[in-house]
Amino acid sequence: MSKIEKKIEKKSESTSSQKKSRSSNNKKFTQIPFDYSSLSNAFSNFTSVPIGKAPILDRFNYADWASDMKMHLISLHPSLWEIVNVGACVPKEGEVITPEWMQDLHRNAQAAHVLNNGLSEEERRKVKGLEIAKEIWDKL
């Protein structure tokens, strides 16, 4: 028996008098172990978790903002920081857009959006018109 199952068993024995008033279905669900094998190590299967507002850059806090924004982007999805750090190629007119290219364009849009949301009005004016997340980051 795993450690978790033993703890559950001990807890259910010690509180059996309290659980009599609850339905028997509750006991079934608390003893079902989570199947971690269903989780993938690939970055494509992340669960979305609300992590709060992006840090705000003003003209006095660039070092702290850059560090906080990097962690914010990674927490949203590691590929967003990769797009900011490495860049995304924009297709030229007439080029066939592949699914991989489309995914990069989508991630670039997400990263650029997060970056823009983390700027004061003064800083936002500096990057107005830029659409590539890496260019926005480099300009700041």
Each residue of 32-45: pLDDT tens digit? 565 655 555 555 55
Burial of 46 (0-12, 13-18, 19+ CB in 10 A): middle
Distance CA 132, CA 48 (A): 24
Least confident of 19-23, 51-55, 110-114: 19-23
Reported confidence tier of residue 63, pLDDT bands at 50, 70, 90 = very high
Looking from the CA of 22 toward its CB, the CA atoms found within 13 Å total 13
pLDDT at residue 88, rounded to an integer: 87
* Model pTM score: 0.63
CA 54, 58, 63, 67: dihedral to nearest 10 degrees? 0
Reported confidence tier of residue 100, pLDDT bands at 50, 70, 90 = confident
pLDDT at residue 17, rounded to an integer: 47
